[in-house]
Structure 1
Amino acid sequence: MTHIQKRLLRERLAKYAMQGSGIIITGSLFFIVGTILYKGLPYLNWQMVSESPKGGFYIGKEGGILNAILGSLYLASLSTALATLIGIPIAIYLDVYAKSGSFLVRTCKLLFDVLFGIPSIVYGAIAFSIMVWLGIRASLLGGVITITLLTIPIVVRTIDELLKTIPIDLKHVTFSLGTTRWETARMMLRYIRPGIFTAILLAFGRAIGDVAGVLLTTGFSDNLPQYLDEPAATLPLAIFFQLSSPIPEVQGRAYASALVLTFIILFIVICTHILASKQKKHKI
């Protein structure tokens, strides 16, 4: 076999491997979504999404998951807002104020990469320790603390990558015109504005779908949360508790709850795709 034939063979093998991987991943996605639709759609109705659980809901009686839907939205919205308020200034400092390529910048980015990959249950354990130290019981506030810690690395690293897409000449030109670092930072934020919304939506999607992090810190309640110090239900926990039931009807409701969560995530993905397209056009 000649050298050219070997190269062509490797090319074909790589092509078939990529095609096979794509088929497996796409097939797995359709299998998961199809299973949720098949098992959950018969149990999805207006009562499920418009009512809170009544007595005996988790043993097959009347009620819905409105408390879990609103609890998840409260938790994800508050934690994403806090993570954004904390994460954007950190990313701006690392890319505008700190010396590029310095030990501090490299170390911070490495640490955020590590934090990005830490399992959420670790964040839950750390947040639980903080709650015990501060005297905070399992509540919506505890969940917000946990998910904020979880999503800050997502916001920081996403904004950091977006800032790298800004032409370096543009940054130098703004400095040459006598602008301050803060004015340059504002210009850079306007340049990547659609991407910032994408980062926020990515953090929101991670926040609303997490279960391990809130298992120890948020608690669970059949009531709608009125205050931050009250326990709050979330959709992932509601799905977990319903799937743990031996009653088939309750398990079907779990799949219906998963279907609701899937619709929310799908909406976030569509919005992220639209904003990413706008960011690409903006760069052009």
Structure 2
Amino acid sequence: MSTIKSRLRREKIAKILMQLAGIGITGSLFLIIGIILFKGLPYLTWDMISQTPQGGFYIGKEGGILNAILGSFYLAGLSTILACLIGLPIAIYLNAYVDQTSTLARVSKLLFDILFGIPSIVYGAIAFSMMITLGIRASLLGGVITITLLTIPIVVRTLDELLKTIPLDLKNTATSLGATRWQTAQILLKYIKPGLFTALLLAFGRAIGDVAGVLLTTGFSDNLPLYLDEPAATLPLAIFFQLSSPIPEVQGRAYASALILTFIILIIVICTHILASRQKKHRL
């Protein structure tokens, strides 16, 4: 009897701790969003979204952050496409061509797990060294190289987890019908198609919100990014530079920029959940 009471007591304590953790995390989220809305909404104007910085924008004069918005989309979009072009074949190879019990498969997935957890500033340092070696200056291309290195592990591990959800019977059926490994891989791709877009959105969201990785490699410019060899502004860098200003109006614009970035991330999260639910229905 005492054993049962002890178990019930531990279960009750664990339930209370989980509830407190959930309340704490949810409360922190709403607190962050509330602060951004309170401090940034009064400074959010159409001119800020539709114009590039004019002379003295970062000391409180007129202009906007259109260059940073477009720069973020260019940087995240190009790096996500490259990460997909590199990561998708790797994930397919590890699941369709390599024995899952082999040392190669286990070591490869372990390495990608390690790469997944490396801070973005390390990728920035590696990409910066590569740029010096190749003679590439701080530019949109440098940022794309950095963020591509950062997002490849995200794409590979996300696709790997999706491919694990495919029933083994489907693979065995394709093999028994005489399908080649490449034909089997095509079947697997069709099965995880909704999940593929989820992986791309996750990589895009990670790319568009990174600041440490691009601090050394992208540079910064008030102009719209037109070429890969030109410096480009990004929203996280624009927020960083504006928050560094002692002028209250410029700091308010930083919170407005953070509000724009939060809205973009929110859209990505909503789209990710929609695609994830479609993937789940597709499996059923």
**TM-score, normalised to structure 1's length?**
0.99
Q: Once the 2 structures are TM-superposed, how far is the Cα of residue 164 of structure 1 from its aligned partner?
A: 0.3
Q: Distance in 2 between matches of 1:186 and 1:113?
A: 25
* Residues 1:47 and 2:44 aligned together: no
Looking at structure 2, the residues matched to 172 and 31 of structure 1 have their Cα atoms a distance apart, in angstroms, of: 50
Find the aligned partners of 2:98 and 2:23 in 1 and give their Cα distance. Answer: 45
Report which stretch shifted further, 92-101 or 60-69.
Answer: 92-101
Matches within 5 A, 1:177-216: 177-216=177-216
CA distance in 2, matches of 1:193, 1:14: 39
Counterpart position of 1:175:
175
CA–CA separation in structure 1 for the residues paired with 2:276 and 2:219: 35
CA positional deviation for 1:185: 0.4
Question: CA offset at residue 132 of structure 1?
Answer: 0.3
Deviations 1:74-107 (A, max 9, x none): 0000000000010000000000111221111111
Amino acid at match of 1:83: A
1:58 partnered with 2:82: no
Per-residue deviation, 1:207 = 0.1
Residue aligned with 1:215, SS: coil
Is 1:67 matched with 2:105?
A: no
**Alignment pair present for 1:134 and 2:134:** yes
**Structure 1 residue aligned with 2:273:** 273
Match of 1:125 in 2: 125
Deviation of 1:251 (Å): 0.1
2:236 pairs with 1:233: no
How far the C-alpha of 1:24 sits from its partner, in A, is 0.1
Does residue 22 of structure 1 match 2:22?
Answer: yes
* Deviations 1:102-135, CA, capped at 9 Å, x for gaps: 1111111000000000000000000000000000
The reply to whether residue 84 of structure 1 matches residue 84 of structure 2 is yes
Whichever residue aligns with residue 38 of structure 1, its letter is: F
| AA partner of residue 185 (structure 1) | A
Opposite residue 219 of structure 1, the aligned amino acid is G
User: Would you say how many aligned residue pairs link Structure 1 and Structure 2?
Assistant: 284
1:243-282 correspondence to structure 2 within 5 Å: 243-282=243-282
C-alpha deviation, 1:264, in angstroms: 0.3
The Cα of 1:42 is off from its aligned counterpart by 0.2
Q: How does 1:93-112 map to 2 (within 5 A)?
A: 93-112=93-112
Moved over 6 A (4+): none
Identity of aligned residues (%): 78
Two-structure CA RMSD over aligned residues (Å)? 0.6
Deviation string for 1:263-284 (max 9, x for gaps)? 0000000000000010010011
Q: C-alpha displacement at 1:32, in angstroms? A: 0.1
Tell me which residue corresponds to 2:217. Answer: 217
Q: Distance in 2 between matches of 1:91 and 1:209?
A: 25
